[in-house]
Structure 1
Amino acid sequence: MGRWYIMIGYIALCKKNGTVNRVIRSVPVGLINEGKNIRELFTDPFELDHILTQDLACPSSLRLRMKLEGDPLVYVTLKAYGDQLLLLVFGLDEPYQFSQLIEMTLSALEVPEVMGQDPYGAGYYEIQKLNSQLINYQQTMAKTNVRLQTLLKEMQTARSAIEILERDPLTGLFTEKVFYDRAANVLEKSADEAFDIAAVDIEQFKIVNDTFGAVAGDRLLMDLAMCLMNLPVDPPPLYTRARADTFFILLHRQKTLYDILDEHVSLFLERYPLPMRLQIRIGIYHIEDRALEVARMCDRALLAADSIKGSYGRRIAQYNHTMHEKLMLEQKIVNTMVESLQREDFQVYLQPKAEINTGRLIGAEALVRWKHPEFGMISPGDFIPVFEKNGFIYSLDLFVWRTACRMLRDWKKANRSIPISVNVSRTDLYHKDLPETLSGMCRDYDLAPDELHLEITESSYVRDSVQLLTVIRRLRQAGFIIEMDDFGSGYSSLNTLSDLPIDIIKLDMIFLRQSENNLRRQKVMQLIIDLARELDLPVIAEGVETEEQAILLKAMGCPYAQGYLYGRPMPETEFFKF
């Protein structure tokens, strides 16, 4: 894909020796950060020293060379404010970028150090002088550019109170309502043209605010807004920051547009100076039914973005009808989940765990099933992710844990005692009283904690290793047996073995299936089984369905298995007979 040029725009407050006190805006991101000296920007720092020694009461714009790719010529303006300097650096490659640079400059008016207490004080009018210089510069570049004239008129109109109210004060983009109105107007006037709605969403944005503070979060939103506005698209799209960290864009449909958008966002993430891995998801809705409200179009684009959250291999997804059906099913699930739990529509099934050599029963896994009176049997694959997302999974897990404890108590009275393993959801780990809750259940049903095994997925460790490690240590100290579920499906399996205080490994069924006719996979699986044996960790292979799979596992030295070959999930009464 061909390279496009990126607008250069940098506004900062500096000490008079050139040290940066605060970066107001930076495009590209991170040209010079706080604490560094602005001399690092320029090819000839002595020339900048000459400017700094001049009288800066009436600044003039000078062209200097910067240390950037392509060695572009840029304009530099400095203005003294008390014991600080306001630095403006700008350089444009394309005429359409001019409006973005003006919006970026005007946004500096929101910075208290520049404005003072008066919202239209001296700082405001000094910035206006800088804008005039920018306008003169651009007019000499493209006097006949009709689009530029339209943008300049829009900037003049933006000074009115009404226009200010239509803008998001943080990013300068349209507010959500204004975006909906203007997008509807564009779609009505351009009935013969194809348009798309794009939803751009930052994953786990709350962590940025919680970890690095609201200032860092606001800057991320402003920088992402500038990144999106800097797309080399003609005609320019409409933008809004709609919901905290969610942006919507109305774009003319173009063949390579989303490849460009993907690469543009990828470059932004690679260069962004924040010590955490940021993830941005983009959902696309191809507008077909123009009778649909713009807000509903945006919902569909956001639904597409949500469909790939947590998927590290994809950044862009397109909306389809299956997503709509899934949304409707999720709504039905949410509408009836509380009543179903109260009616005991949820049932706990048990699947046997067996010794491979002898077939002897060594335990069972408790699995939840939902028999809805109206919708019939609802698959766990449909309702578990919904419950994990809305937090209801903890209430459901409490029901499963209590039911398993009651079963264990009844079996002990009948002298047929084997351990039962229950699943602990990733979201359950955020409940600080989880160890006390489970210990209390065991006391209520007169059980030893090691009779109730706790299955925690490896993916939980990959996402929340610190939190998970703390909780698991407390659970093991309380006497519970910890089984690492779906081992081999994550990205840190060896780290899991070395770091986590676990007692049993459950090999993911997909890992087993991929090993049947793949010699290399078999060697990896053999290595894991041997390593687990050296660490005194029993291994249970999940998803064993055929005798051939059992023979393969036996040859590898895997002692235990679970799967249809040994028994399907079944109600308690059937399992007791089994």
Structure 2
Amino acid sequence: MIGYFALCGAQGNVNKVIRSVPMCFVNEGENIRQLFSEDENMDALLNPADGQVTSARLRIREEDRSVWAAAKKRGTQLLFIMWDIEDISEVSELMRLYISMTDDLELVQQEPYEASYYEIQKVNNQLINYQRALTKANERLKMLLKEVREAKSTIELLERDPLTNLYTQNAFFDRAAAMLKENPETDFDIIAVDIERFKMVNDAFGNAAGDKLLTEMAICLLSIREDGKTLFARAGADKFYALIPHGTSAYEMLDRHIGFLEENYPLPMRLQIKLGIYRIEDRSLSIPRMCDRAVLAADSIKGFFDKRFACYDDSIRKKMIMEQNIIDTMREALEREDFQVYLQPKVEIGNGRLMGAEALVRWQHPQLGMVSPGDFIPVFEKNGFIYALDQFVWRKACEIMGRWKSEKGAFIPVSVNVSRADIYHVDLPGVLMKMVEENGLEPGNLHLEITESAYVSDSRQLLPVIERLKELGFIIEMDDFGNGYSSLNTLSELPIDVLKIDLEFLRMRKNVMRRKQIMRFVINLANELRLQVIAEGAETEEQIELLREMGCEYAQGYYYGRPMPQDDFQDYLSKQTISEAKVL
């Protein structure tokens, strides 16, 4: 800031310096002209008419700045004023200089300067008004800052998961992107954490137990926190994300803490927690895509009891590309009928007679070749396309039985899979009835296989649908019985007709004798309940003898025949006439 006030002679000689900021631009006895470089402007400034005020913008000699100057003449003397401010905060200081200058003018008590005194008072009043306006602006600014702080607090509250106090998913995405931008030289990893079968905790032990498990999981994650460079989020019911610097000792600590949690958590079921890691090498990817890759890594080790961590790698990338190819071509493939229905025989163990078949879907892809059901079924279950595919299989199964009936006069029943996602379609019973009736069949000719895991996942949704299908006359088969956690509830609640037991249960090496006893118990229990039992996965003569000895009457597996195309199954069927087959 510059502020300078002086009394001068007619030629610009300084008689009295009233105020100067900074000190002494031009001292008393010196000429005011020496301060400026424009002689012509100075001549005009220092020669006003008597009683008039002149002003000009002048450049200070040898400096790259200009100031405002004004002069008023009364008789032979001048009042010279010079000022310049760089921002509005200096207005109040300039005002104080004006006020002090008027005090000096009162001491001078010279008549020629009374008018100038009133001019200065006008300027003074203007500055006071400016200061008042500035004060109001400051008050408004304080209010705005308060509102911003309150809004920020509200945003912080909305960004936090109320149970774990970790960030929500969207807040994590935003803050992780900002952290990567602020730390371009730091390598980071994204971690995805998934608690397997978490829904079982809520269903079997209550929501309070589930909430406690989630908070314990959050504590495990927070144990690897590094100030300023770690972020944690609860991204879903049982899914967590973390952003941590790469190459730290955090994984060892996290593995130890999660291992302790799995081994010592007070629930009568074994916890399985999977962690997927994506090392951030391509920062052009969005944070959600990075998290998806970490999730893929975690999913790749589900079902492996000896693996807790998995890193995203090229094999997972190839799987992701395969899944995308599947999604991109699924609708056209269904329209072209690239999907094919294979049939696998179900046989009576005692005499080898055919008693039914299971319809299984295969995909002959024009570019990828034969695609395994293990590759496309999980994708379709996730994106909802499974309902369209299942309807295709149901329709084909009904058409096959209808053709057998018209050509042979008799036929064997065919079972089809009803996936968990199908249950949520309210039109399911009507769709199945229409297919059956269009092919001249009865509902009992079409067997519906439903996995026990579907019942465990959502028993309240499944039970009324199964009861309705049973009322309509469909045969209900429970697939994969014994692999879930609520097998006895399944038997007591669901109106099922057939139990299918996977012999994989006997292939596990631990406790083989006990497993055999359990299977024998299940078969005896099913007989008591008047349920049929079909053993799946029968491959050897030894297994067949064991099943016969246990009292199991029916089997399905490679021992009797692999899943085969319809023409091959027709040849298989021709070896024993349908009339010889035992029709359920």
| TM score, norm. by length of structure 1 | 0.62
Equivalent of 2:479, from 462, 467, 485? 485
Bigger shift: residues 287-296 or 414-423: 287-296
- Tell me: CA distance 1:552–1:237, structure 2 relative to 1, closer, same or farther (3 Å): same
Partner residue in 1 for 2:258: 262
Larger Rg: 2
Cα distance in structure 2, aligned partners of 1:222 and 1:522: 37
Contact 1:281 1:316 in 2 (8 A): no
Q: CA deviation at 1:417?
A: 0.8
Partner residue in 2 for 1:180: 177
Q: CA deviation at 1:293?
A: 4.0
Q: CA deviation at 1:321?
A: 3.2
Partner residue in 1 for 2:450: 456
- Tell me: CA distance 1:169–1:575, structure 2 relative to 1, closer, same or farther (3 Å): closer
Cα distance in structure 2, aligned partners of 1:221 and 1:507: 33
- Tell me: CA distance 1:528–1:201, structure 2 relative to 1, closer, same or farther (3 Å): closer
Partner residue in 2 for 1:335: 328
Q: Does 1:233 align with 2:230?
A: no
SS of 1:357 mapped into structure 2? coil
Bigger shift: residues 418-427 or 460-469: 460-469
Cα distance in structure 1, aligned partners of 2:151 and 2:508: 64
For 1:318-329, what aligned pairs fall within 5 Å after superposition? Answer: 318-329=311-322
Cα distance in structure 2, aligned partners of 1:455 and 1:522: 24
Cα distance in structure 2, aligned partners of 1:175 and 1:232: 17
Cα distance in structure 1, aligned partners of 2:256 and 2:317: 27
- Tell me: CA distance 1:533–1:242, structure 2 relative to 1, closer, same or farther (3 Å): closer
Partner residue in 1 for 2:345: 352
Cα distance in structure 2, aligned partners of 1:293 and 1:359: 58
Contact 2:193 2:241 in 1 (8 A): yes
Q: CA deviation at 1:519?
A: 2.4
CA distances 1:130-154 after superposition (whole Å, capped 9, x unpaired): xxxxxxxxxxxxxxxxxxxxxxxxx
In structure 2, give the amino acid aligned to 1:338: R
Cα distance in structure 1, aligned partners of 2:463 and 2:367: 41
- Tell me: CA distance 1:313–1:453, structure 2 relative to 1, closer, same or farther (3 Å): farther
Q: CA deviation at 1:509?
A: 2.9
In structure 1, give the amino acid aligned to 2:486: S
Q: CA deviation at 1:345?
A: 0.1
Q: Does 1:427 align with 2:428?
A: no
In structure 2, give the amino acid aligned to 1:522: K
- Tell me: CA distance 1:285–1:369, structure 2 relative to 1, closer, same or farther (3 Å): same
Cα distance in structure 1, aligned partners of 2:253 and 2:511: 41
SS of 1:576 mapped into structure 2? helix
In structure 1, give the amino acid aligned to 2:526: A
Unaligned runs of 5+ in 2: 1-141, 203-207, 573-584
Equivalent of 1:538, from 532, 543, 557? 532
Cα distance in structure 1, aligned partners of 2:327 and 2:196: 23
Q: CA deviation at 1:316?
A: 5.4
Unaligned runs of 5+ in 1: 1-119, 126-157, 210-215, 272-276
Cα distance in structure 2, aligned partners of 1:526 and 1:207: 27
Q: Does 1:287 align with 2:279?
A: yes
Partner residue in 2 for 1:39: none
**How many matched pairs?**
411
| TM score, norm. by length of structure 2 | 0.61
Contact 1:200 1:283 in 2 (8 A): yes
For 1:148-167, what aligned pairs fall within 5 Å after superposition? Answer: 159=149
Equivalent of 2:542, from 524, 528, 548? 548
- Tell me: CA distance 1:236–1:333, structure 2 relative to 1, closer, same or farther (3 Å): same
CA distances 1:12-47 after superposition (whole Å, capped 9, x unpaired): xxxxxxxxxxxxxxxxxxxxxxxxxxxxxxxxxxxx
In structure 2, give the amino acid aligned to 1:259: D
- Tell me: CA distance 1:205–1:560, structure 2 relative to 1, closer, same or farther (3 Å): closer
- Tell me: CA distance 1:341–1:250, structure 2 relative to 1, closer, same or farther (3 Å): same
Contact 2:258 2:273 in 1 (8 A): no
- Tell me: CA distance 1:492–1:169, structure 2 relative to 1, closer, same or farther (3 Å): closer
Query: C-alpha root-mean-square deviation of aligned residues, in Å?
Result: 4.2
Partner residue in 2 for 1:521: 515
Cα distance in structure 1, aligned partners of 2:149 and 2:325: 48
Contact 1:404 1:420 in 2 (8 A): yes
Contact 1:239 1:247 in 2 (8 A): no
- Tell me: CA distance 1:516–1:264, structure 2 relative to 1, closer, same or farther (3 Å): closer
Cα distance in structure 1, aligned partners of 2:341 and 2:445: 17
- Tell me: CA distance 1:340–1:486, structure 2 relative to 1, closer, same or farther (3 Å): same
Cα distance in structure 1, aligned partners of 2:196 and 2:214: 16
In structure 2, give the amino acid aligned to 1:374: Q
Q: CA deviation at 1:514?
A: 4.2
SS of 2:480 mapped into structure 1? strand
CA distances 1:377-432 after superposition (whole Å, capped 9, x unpaired): 00001111111111100000000001111111111112241101011101111112
Q: CA deviation at 1:516?
A: 12
Cα distance in structure 1, aligned partners of 2:561 and 2:515: 26
- Tell me: CA distance 1:410–1:228, structure 2 relative to 1, closer, same or farther (3 Å): same
Cα distance in structure 2, aligned partners of 1:363 and 1:422: 11
Cα distance in structure 1, aligned partners of 2:201 and 2:533: 38
Contact 1:176 1:240 in 2 (8 A): no
Q: CA deviation at 1:436?
A: 1.8
Partner residue in 1 for 2:383: 390
Q: CA deviation at 1:310?
A: 8.6
In structure 2, give the amino acid aligned to 1:330: E
Partner residue in 1 for 2:357: 364
Partner residue in 1 for 2:566: 572
In structure 1, give the amino acid aligned to 2:378: P
